Structure 1
Amino acid sequence: MLVFKRMWFVRGASLPVRTLFTGYRLSSPKRRSPYNFSNSERYSALVKSVMSFRVSSQNPESLLAEDDHLYGPVIASPPSSKSSGTAKPEATHPFLNSSKTPETEEPVLGFPARILLNREQGRTLVPSVSRILQQTLSPEQIFHLERWKRRMIAELGEDGFQEYSQNLFRQGKRFHSVLEDFLTLGATWKDKSPAETPEDSPEVQGYMQSVSHILEDISAVRAIESTVQHDALNYLGIVDCVARYRGVLCVIDWKTSEKPKPFLGNTYDNPIQVAAYTGALNSDGNYKYQVENGLIVVAYKDGSPAHAHQLNSELLLEYWKKWLLRLEEFKSQRSNHVTSAFSEKR
């Protein structure tokens, strides 16, 4: 608070009169970022989830502020009805297969099924679950992911970013390979020590240590890295694992991260992916059983305990409806592309 003293002399008076003025230094209100419409908390976590290797001191909030400062306000259109979470698919399709019954007994002992993807068997034009989800990201998701990618390239360079991405891919692939060996042979992490697997990087050993307590609750493995295809809806995918978790048969998806993901909401499109895989498996005649539950396991390379997010039948059915919406959007995009290409040829 600032105090100003001013001397005033009143005519006919011999003493000065002091008058005190007090006041506060006012500042203009902080301008609100127009990006707030896109749910800053949600998409801040999205950027953090893809930044599995921290190389920048920037955080999502500072990036939003920087964009606002450099490029000025952005006029944001209201979210579409599909992104509001209230939209329903135009055509519904059953999640379960009426010709199959849920399995209640342990399977016959043997190696887990592994149906390899063979593009020569008429599957060339069948899109994958990953491709469909990638091409139907919301505008907000695309904005934040592209912003993160540009920042990474600015700091690492094109070659450095490519190397960084390849390292993440190799670590994830090796982690899945080690998991496959353990689950195929029916072993547990306690059967081996890190000294017995010197070929594995510290990161992979950390991932395995992270999921060790999860593996103790895995039994009756039915399939590993196996292709599933939904003929009626025309899409396919590769499930990481089908097994019982604490006695419940689940489609299991293994994920890696350096950032904690203690809540299902931190996994973003992963539940939709699991629902798509499960629906395809239930439709696929190569599998004589059907699955009603899912499980997402997030492993950490520092060895901290993995988070296991269970999807019961009711929750998985809700994500199945969201998958049908994404599938409809993908087919609409492809139809518009074909129509546009045909018009150009004419």
Structure 2
Amino acid sequence: MFTFIRVLSVGGIIVPQSTSLPVRHFSAYHCLRAPKRRSPYSSVDTERYSSLVKSVMSTRVSSQTPETLQAEDDQIYGPVVKAQTPTKAETRVPKILHPFLNCQEPIETEEPESGPPARILLNRGQGRSLVPSVTRILQQTLSPDQIFYLERWRKKMIAELGEEGFKEYSQNLFRQGKLFHSALENVLTSHATWKDRNPSEYPPEVQGYMQSVSDILEDIRAVRAIESTVQHETLNYLGVVDCVARYRGVLCVIDWKTSDKPKPFLSNTYDNPLQVAAYAGALNSDANYKYQVENGLIVVAYKDGSPAHAHQLNSELMLEYWKTWLLRLEEFTEQRSSCASSAEKR
């Protein structure tokens, strides 16, 4: 029995009262009467493991050291065969490192005299029928990975559009490219800027592209060449450069590209830097151009009018891409020689 004392106040006089309650009303009563739980270790045969426990506790170093574990693994799985450190792939270099610049021509540092930009048309009839273009050389020396992804994209487009639909899609892309370049030529060869023009005067297919490059056009001055052919007599290739002009004061070979997807990084432009370096190297060796170009610019325009991405190639980058271009050119030359030899044997 537990006795509780409670205090009552009656007319200001404190009167203590006691109350007795039986213990069974408390849950503690049941806890005190609950049977004692047995330890799970009570059934362990301590004598059986006593020697093992003593040996482990009396040894300062654990018996399972890395050495013994390795020895045990060697017995079960055999000895470990260490892989050799992978060696770096050898950096390929061109067999002949042709110069990128022509030392006999000056590198311009001042603004050139005003005048119409050069436009040398491609004329295949003047002994140029056997001279390969930059585009053809790059297409025929694609890597296996590039060929795989290009073919996968082509099959995907055919699956979505059908053979005829894909053909029409390709033709529309080509047509849009021509209209875009024509519109750019119109702006760059006139004194009026894009902001001074009415966008509606251009075909609807290219209005978005022109809006996309509008800010970049504001930074282009002193146009030296537009849609002009360049040829490297020594290396025997040619191409048509989109534009040669000063971008923010730096003379550049400029290549205009269109894209449906954003290309914010230079790596997104695939072989375009090689193309620009090839054009610049040809221009620097071409007697029709009395100046040298060390820098490049790739402008990617978007049909929805979003701001274009401008990827600048400084002189150091251009030299690196020039070396890679020489490797692709060597590969193309070897392919053509191999095909010629096979044809003679037949």
Given the two structures, how large is their TM-score scaled by the length of structure 2? 0.73
Letter of the 2:122 counterpart: L
Aligned partners of 2:191, 2:151: CA distance in 1, in Å? 41
Q: Which residue of 2 aligns with 1:165?
A: 170
Letter of the 1:342 counterpart: E
SS of alignment partner, residue 178 of structure 1: helix
Aligned partners of 2:339, 2:159: CA distance in 1, in Å? 33
* CA RMSD after TM alignment: 1.2
SS of alignment partner, residue 290 of structure 1: coil
Q: Is 1:200 paired with 2:182?
A: no
Counterpart pick for 2:224 among 222, 225, 228: 222
Q: Is 1:132 paired with 2:137?
A: yes
Q: Which residue of 1 aligns with 2:253?
A: 251
Q: Which residue of 2 aligns with 1:328?
A: 330
Aligned partners of 1:100, 1:272: CA distance in 2, in Å? 23
Counterpart pick for 2:117 among 99, 112, 121: 112
SS of alignment partner, residue 318 of structure 2: helix
Task: Describe the superposition over 1:180-228 as per-residue Cα deviations: whole angstroms up to 9, x where unpaired.
Answer: 0110113211111223x1x511x40000000000001000000000000
Identity over aligned pairs, percent: 77
Q: Which residue of 2 aligns with 1:28?
A: none
Trace 1:67-86 onto structure 2 (pairs within 5 A): 86=91
Q: Is 1:178 paired with 2:183?
A: yes
Q: Which residue of 2 aligns with 1:234?
A: 236
Aligned partners of 2:131, 2:90: CA distance in 1, in Å? 27
Aligned partners of 1:293, 1:157: CA distance in 2, in Å? 42
Q: Which residue of 2 aligns with 1:310?
A: 312
Distance 1:85 1:184, change over 3 A: farther
Letter of the 2:178 counterpart: K
Shift of 1:252: 0.3
Aligned partners of 1:208, 1:294: CA distance in 2, in Å? 20
Shift of 1:147: 1.4
Q: Which residue of 2 aligns with 1:273?
A: 275
Letter of the 1:284 counterpart: D
Shift of 1:154: 2.2
Aligned partners of 1:259, 1:155: CA distance in 2, in Å? 18
Distance 1:85 1:147, change over 3 A: farther
Given the two structures, how large is their TM-score scaled by the length of structure 1? 0.73
Distance 1:251 1:85, change over 3 A: farther
SS of alignment partner, residue 121 of structure 1: coil
Aligned partners of 2:260, 2:160: CA distance in 1, in Å? 20
Regions of 4+ moved over 2 Å: none
Aligned partners of 2:320, 2:241: CA distance in 1, in Å? 19
Task: Describe the superposition over 1:233-286 as per-residue Cα deviations: whole angstroms up to 9, x where unpaired.
Answer: 000000000000000000000000111111111101000000000000000000
Aligned partners of 1:303, 1:242: CA distance in 2, in Å? 24
Q: Is 1:122 paired with 2:124?
A: no
Aligned partners of 2:341, 2:325: CA distance in 1, in Å? 24
Task: Describe the superposition over 1:318-341 as per-residue Cα deviations: whole angstroms up to 9, x where unpaired.
Answer: 000000000000000000000001
Q: Could you say which structure has the larger radius of gyration?
A: 2
Aligned partners of 1:103, 1:118: CA distance in 2, in Å? 28
Distance 1:85 1:179, change over 3 A: farther
SS of alignment partner, residue 223 of structure 2: strand
Counterpart pick for 2:301 among 299, 302, 309: 299
SS of alignment partner, residue 132 of structure 1: helix
Q: Which residue of 2 aligns with 1:37?
A: none
Aligned residue pairs, count: 259
Aligned partners of 1:239, 1:291: CA distance in 2, in Å? 12
Task: Describe the superposition over 1:84-118 as per-residue Cα deviations: whole angstroms up to 9, x where unpaired.
Answer: 68211111100000101101121221111000001
Aligned partners of 1:220, 1:227: CA distance in 2, in Å? 19
Distance 1:235 1:85, change over 3 A: farther
Shift of 1:129: 0.1
Aligned partners of 2:339, 2:211: CA distance in 1, in Å? 46
Shift of 1:155: 2.2
Q: Which residue of 1 aligns with 2:23?
A: none
Q: Which residue of 1 aligns with 2:289?
A: 287
Aligned partners of 1:238, 1:294: CA distance in 2, in Å? 15
Aligned partners of 2:261, 2:236: CA distance in 1, in Å? 35
SS of alignment partner, residue 124 of structure 2: coil
Distance 1:148 1:232, change over 3 A: same
Which residues of structure 1 form unaligned runs of 5+? 1-80
Which residues of structure 2 form unaligned runs of 5+? 1-87
Aligned partners of 2:301, 2:192: CA distance in 1, in Å? 18
Q: Is 1:188 paired with 2:193?
A: yes
